[in-house]
Structure 1
Amino acid sequence: MTENAGVRRGGAPGSRGRTTVADVVVAKIAGMAVRDVPGVYAMGGGFARSMGSMRERMPGAGAGKSVTRGVSVEVGEVQAAIDLEIVVDYGVSITDVAGAVRESVISAVERMAGREVVEVNIMVSDVKLPDEEDEGQEWQRVQ
């Protein structure tokens, strides 16, 4: 029988080493969580949405960008802060939509990235009126 002299075995395997989560990962998680909230028409301001929709039509230029449009994050080792810019549907309660967005984002980021979300700041930059044409909406709800 051989002995493992000098080999240190300590702590659970999950505690050996360090896990780093990039800002873009948290931004994508937050962007996807916002999409699940009824009453949110789009992410980002009008100019950002129109430029983004043009960029996404160019091959290779816009892949993966729409989910993070309107999302800004700061990620530390244990905490994250998130800023969102959204457009809401006309007729919905902005307060209720903002609360649902916060709940969805906090839940998703804390569950998936393991970071405590210290704040989710939301700026409602526009309201989608029923008679306005779609200006490059990134996703579609059930029709």
Structure 2
Amino acid sequence: MGYKVTLLGRARLERRLNAIPKATKELVKKDMEQIAQEIVDKMKAIVPVDTGALRDSIGWTWGRPPKGSTAFAVAKNTLGSEMTLTIYAGNEATLVRSANGRRPYLQKAWIVEFGTSRTPAQPYFRPVWKTEKKRVKSKVRSAVRKAVKATQ
């Protein structure tokens, strides 16, 4: 389960993106990649570390997250999977056995972020997203404008 990012004026943005050339989309993708990497770096800087496996599992990808991971943010677009960016944490190495036995494995990324009845939450995504949300939206809008101007 991840957070969904909703862009206001998405329909208008999609119409404009459909009207611009592929080169423009590639420029926007580069800027989105830079923004995603900045968020990942900030998450890695504040995540609690015991073995380092969780920290090392934090990343971003285009499309669906890797098997076994938890998607924390998904920037979706109806233009197809090439414009869907996912920030994730965890992998098969960070799965842990359930203490109560009801579920065989739980994702450590989820446990650390939200806590359990026995473990306090130690959020590493929500604080970063809360402080970066406005800046990210602004940078994406700016990237689109810059890319449109550069490819006209």
Q: TM-score under structure 1 normalisation?
A: 0.33
The structure where helix makes up a greater share of residues is 2
Point out which structure has higher relative CO (alpha carbons under 8 A, 6+ apart).
Answer: 1
Q: TM-score under structure 2 normalisation?
A: 0.31
The structure where strand makes up a greater share of residues is 1
Structure whose CA Rg is larger: 1
